Amino acid sequence: MKFSAHEWRGHFPLLANHPRLHYLDNAATGQLCAAAFDAVTHHELTQRANVLRGTYKLAEAADAAYEQARRQAAAYLNAASADEVVFTSGTTAAINLVAHAFGDTLQAGDEVVLSLAEHHSNLVPWQMLRGRRGVALRFIRLADDGRLDLARLDEIVTPRCRLVAVTHASNVTGAVSDLVPIVAAARAAGARVLVDGAQMVQHGPVDVAALDADFYAFSGHKAFAPNGVGVLWGRAEALAALPPFLGGGGMIGRVTAEETTYAAPPRRFEAGTPPIAQAVALGAALDWLRAQPWEAMRAHTTHLAQRLLDGLAVLPGLTFLGPREMTERLPIVAFNLAGIHPHDACQVLDAHHVAVRGGHHCAQPLMDRFGVEGAVRASLAPYNTEADVDALLEGLKDAQRKLK
């Protein structure tokens, strides 16, 4: 199938309403696609009601839409069953769910393996678990190009390891993790595997069956859907082994004054009123994305990222964080300009209608590894064009003229 970035851009109302905007902050938030916008509008106008136990037609319609969204998310992930999909408020909530529910099964001396590339959302919950349960944290180091250094994996994933929790792709360097040896090491130790997929899902459907992980987390707002919704996928037997995280309505089997029995997954982990309309919109966005020509779209974003890398390479005083080549990486490019703070560079770029992000990107251990406080980050999506890349490069030249 052919692909046109200009045509694809037309499916995003905000971009259509801001034709001068060069939006290159997609690793933080993707723009809302029309499929998601239409779905949430239709839901709120025609079937807004709470889910579970409603016996009137409006509530039954809301139930049906919510469960359809669960099936759509399962299809996008190639999950074995829709019951393996738990709706959360986002990646952070999904990881915290596992950190509490699975973490409550751990004891002092058990180990959790992370990497220095992790977003704080896949680091802080495990540090908090260490404080509660006395578990030990071990870290996969980073090579000089920002990729995970797996040379000592067998030493890091010991028989005391109970969980390996790693990013599918770095939100700073764009490097895609080599999960095959990581999963193999975890399996050899009898450990579970959690993958933070926040940066991966917007780049095409994910096959959790092929990954052979136990848990996979992502956020809707990075996949061209609304804020406030995300997914924790869990292998059926892995979810069934977990105690609940939050208590309340919707997650129970039977409640008496003395005790409570709990519902089976996924309901066990969806206490209270879920983000119904957001989930419906996420399902619609994932269905729309699943039908896209991803091979052509990836070729397009790879071309743009290479154009950006080539343009940045000739700027004086520029240093990269991450791989310089486009193999096994996403179109996320982080860099610094000598003598210019990332925030200052971003402000100059904003005057050129270029939206990028500067700072530590919730990845301070990664920044520490490279001896910097932060970086400018440009992150591309299929609706971006060569004009967006060129505007960024011109804006950076202007920043060097004004700020050095």
pLDDT above 80: residue 320? yes
Marked catalytic residue, from 33, 161, 346, 362: 362
How do residues 75-128 score in pLDDT, each as one tens digit?
999 999 999 999 999 999 999 999 999 999 999 999 999 999 999 999 999 999
Mean pLDDT for the stretch of residues 357-372: 98
The neighbour count for residue 60, using CB atoms within 10 Å, is 14
What pLDDT, on a 0 to 100 scale, did the predictor assign at position 394?
Answer: 98
Domain boundaries, the chain: 5-31+293-403, 37-290
User: What distance in Å separates the CA atoms of residue 353 and residue 317, rounded to the nearest whole number?
Assistant: 23
Residues 6+ apart with CB under 8 A from 215: 94, 98, 192, 193, 194, 195, 232, 233, 234, 235, 238
| In contact, 15 and 252? CB cutoff 8 Å | no
Active site residue 33: no
> For 183-200, what is each residue's pLDDT tens digit?
999 999 999 999 999 999
Which residues are within 8 A (CB) of 158 and not within 5 positions of it... i.e. 6 or more apart? 111, 138, 189
Enter the CATH code of domain 37-290. Answer: 3.40.640.10
Instruction: Quote the pLDDT of residue 222.
Output: 98
* Cis amide bond preceding 266, omega within 30: yes
Which among 47, 18, 20, 51 has a CA at the least distance from the CA of 32?
A: 18
Cα separation, 324 vs 312, in Å, equals 11
Give the span between the Cα atoms of 332 and 222, in whole angstroms: 13
- The CATH number, out of the four listed (3.90.1150.10, 3.40.50.300, 3.90.1640.10, 4.10.640.10), of the domain defined by the range 5-31+293-403: 3.90.1150.10
Overall pTM > 0.95: yes
More confident residue, 2 or 114: 114
